[in-house]
Chains A and B, each alone.
Chain A
Amino acid sequence: MNDSMSIPHLIMSASTVVQLVMLLLTVGSIASWIVIFQRTFVMRRAKRAHLAFEERFWSGVDLNELYRETPSEQETNGAEHVFRAGFREFNRLLPKTRSPQAILDGVQRSMRVAWSREEERLNLHLVFLATVASASPYIGLFGTVWGIMGSFQSLSMAQQATLATVAPWIAEALIATAMGLFAAIPAVIFYNRLSSESGKLLGKYEDFAEEFHSILHRNLQGRGDSDAG
C-alpha cells in the first residue's frame, strides 16, 4: 500500500461533491454520537432516579410529606413528576367537589399529561438518531455513485484502462459508503437500545401512575364511606 492509497490522501484528493458528502456524514456521525451519549446519560439517571423514588414512595412515608419534600414542578421528572402532578390535582380538587369520581378523573388526566411530558422528554432527539440511521447509507451511496461516475468520466480520457488507473477512484468513492455505514450502524443500534429503554421506563411510570391512582381511589373510598356514615 503506497502513500497515494492511504485514507487521508484519498479523502483529500476526492472531488468536491464527494468531499461534501463526506463532511455531511462526518457531521451526522458526530451529532448522532452526541445524541447517543446524552441520551445514555439521561436514561441512566432517569432509571436511577426512578429506583430511588419508588424505594422512597413504598417506604411508607406520608404522601403529604413526600409531596412537600419534592422540589417544584419544573425540576422533577420521571415518576416523581407524575406523582407531583397527580397529588397536586388531588389536593386542589378535594375541597371543591364531593364526587370521588370527578376527583379521580381529574387526577388521572393530570397524571396522563405529566406522563406524556415525560415521554416527550425521554424520546427527545431519538428521531434524529433514526433519521441518521436510515438516511446516511443512502447519502454515502450517493457519494460513491458520484465518485464512480467521475472515475468513469476520467477513464474515458485514458488510453488504457488498467486496474491501477481505476483503483484509486473507486477506493476514494467507496470511502463515502464506508463513512455512511460508519454513521448509520451505531445510530441504528443505539436507537433501538434507547427507544426500548425509554419504552421500559415509560411503562414503569404508567405502572406507578396506576398504583398511585389506586391508592388515591382507596383513600377516597374511605372518605366517601366516612361521609356517607
Chain B
Amino acid sequence: MARHDSRVGYGLPTLLAVGLHVLVVVMSVISLPSREPEATSSSVVQATLVSTETTTDQALRAEEARARAAQRQADEEAAAAEAEAAAEAERQQVEEEAAQRQAEQQAEREAQQQAREQERREAEAEAQRRAEEAEQQARLREEQEAAAEAEQQREAEAAERQRQAEEARRQAEQEAEAERQRQVEQQAEQEAERQREEESRRQAEQEAEAEAERQREEEARRQAEQEAEAERQRQAEEEARRQAEQEAEAERQRQEAARAAAEAASDIDSLIAGEQESIANARQAEQAANSFQNLVRNAVEQAWIIPAGSASGLEATLQLDLLPTGELIGARIVSSSGDGAFDRSVIQAVERASPFREMRQLPPAAQSQFRQFNLRFRPGDVR
C-alpha cells in the first residue's frame, strides 16, 4: 500500500541540505558586491552639493601645497643655515683645539727645554763635583804619600843614623851618596806618581767633559727631533684643517646644489599646482555658479508663500541686484504675471530669502556674473 511506504530515504534530504548551503554561499558572495554600487550611487546623488566642497578643497590643497613648498624652502634654508653654523662652529672648534694643542705642545716643549737645561746644569754640577772629588782624592793620596815618605825618610834617617853610628865615617859619604841617589830616585818616583795621578785626574775630567758633551749632543739631537716632530704635527694639523675646510666647502656647495634642485623642483611643483589651481578655479567657478543659482532658487522657493487664489499658469520674472556680500539691493519685476498679489509674493519671497551669503564663497568671476541676474517664478516649479 502506498500509504504505508513511509520509509524516508536520505537522497532527497541530502540534496536539499547541499542545495541550502550552496544557496547560502552564493547569497554571501553575490549580495556583497551588489550592495556596494548602491552605496556609491547614493553618494553620486549628493554629488552636486559635495562638488563645491571638493573644488574648494582642491584650491585649499593647492594652497596647502604652496604653503608646504614654502615651508619646505624655509626648512631647507634653516637646515642650510644650521649646517653652515654647525660647520663654522666645527671649524672654530677645530681651530681652538689646534691652538690648544699648539699651546700644550709649546708648554711641553718649554718644559722639556727647562728640564733639559736643568739636566745639563745638574750634569755640569755633577761633573764639577766629580772633578773636585777626584782632586780631593788626589790631594789626600798626595798627603798620605807625603806622610808615608816622611815616615820612610824618618826610618831611613834612623837606619842611616844607626848605620852611620855603626860604620861612622867609612860609609858616610857612600851612604850619603846612595841615599842621595835613593832620594833622587824616590823623588823621581814620587814625581812619576804625581804625574800619573795628574794624568788620571785629567783623564777623569776629560771623560766627564766628554760625557757632558755627549749628553749635550743627545739633548740637542732630541730637541731637534722634537722640533721636527712638532713641525710635522703642525703641518698635519694644518692639512687636516685645510681638508676640513675643503670638506665643509664641498658640503656647502652640495647643499646649495641640492637647494637649487629642490627650488627648481618646487618651482615646477608650484607651476603644476598653479595650473591645477587655475583649472580647479575655473571648474569651481562654473560649478559654483550653477550651485549658487540652485541655492538662490531653493532658498527663494522655500521662502515663497504662493497666494491661495493664484491661477496655476502664472509666471513672473524678477531681476535681482546683489552686493558682493550677497545682500539684496533691490528686486524688480521685469515681466509681471498680471496678478499683483502674485508679484508681491514673489518679491517678498526674495526679500525673505536674502541675504545670499553663499555669494561670498563664489570666485570673483562668478561674483561679477551674479551681481545682477534674473529669476523666473512659476508655481508649477514649487508644487
Contact = CB atoms under 8 A, between A and B. Distances in A.
Nearest to A70: B4
Interface in A18-76: 26, 29-31, 33-38, 41-42, 45-46, 49, 52, 71, 75-76
Interface residues of A, number: 26
Interface string B256-300: 000000000000000000000000000000000000000000000
Given A1-B36, A7-B28, A41 B17 contact: no
Contacts of A229: none
Contacts of B36: 1
A77 B16 contact: no
Interface of A: 1, 6-8, 26, 29-31, 33-38, 41-42, 45-46, 49, 52, 71, 75-77, 80, 182
Count chain B CB atoms within 10 A of each CB in A33, A42, A46, A76 and give the residue with the most: A33
A32 B207 CA distance: 123
B3 A6 contact: no
A80 B28 CA distance: 46
13 contacts: A1-B32, A1-B36, A30-B18, A30-B21, A33-B13, A34-B13, A35-B13, A36-B13, A41-B12, A42-B6, A45-B8, A77-B6, A80-B4
Contact of A42 (B8, B17, B21): B8
Contact of B20 (A33, A38, A52): A33
Contacts of B24: 182
B1 A71 contact: yes
Q: Secondary structure of the A side of the interface?
A: helix
A178 to B, nearest CB: 10
Q: Secondary structure of the B side of the interface?
A: helix
B29 A49 contact: no
Q: How large is the interface on B (under 10, 10 to 19, 20 to 34, 35 or more residues)?
A: 10 to 19
A80 B1 CA distance: 13
A26 B8 contact: no
A35 B12 CA distance: 11
Contacts of A8: 29
A52 B29 contact: no
Interface of B: 1, 3-4, 6, 8, 10, 12-14, 16-18, 20-21, 24, 28-29, 32, 36
A30 B17 contact: yes
7 interchain residue pairs of minimum CB distance: A33-B17, A37-B13, A38-B13, A45-B6, A34-B17, A41-B8, A34-B13
Count chain B CB atoms within 10 A of each CB in A6, A38, A75 and give the residue with the most: A38
Contacts of B12: 37, 41
A175 B8 CA distance: 34
Contact of A26 (B6, B13, B21, B32): B21
A147 B13 CA distance: 33
B32 A76 contact: no
Nearest to B13: A37
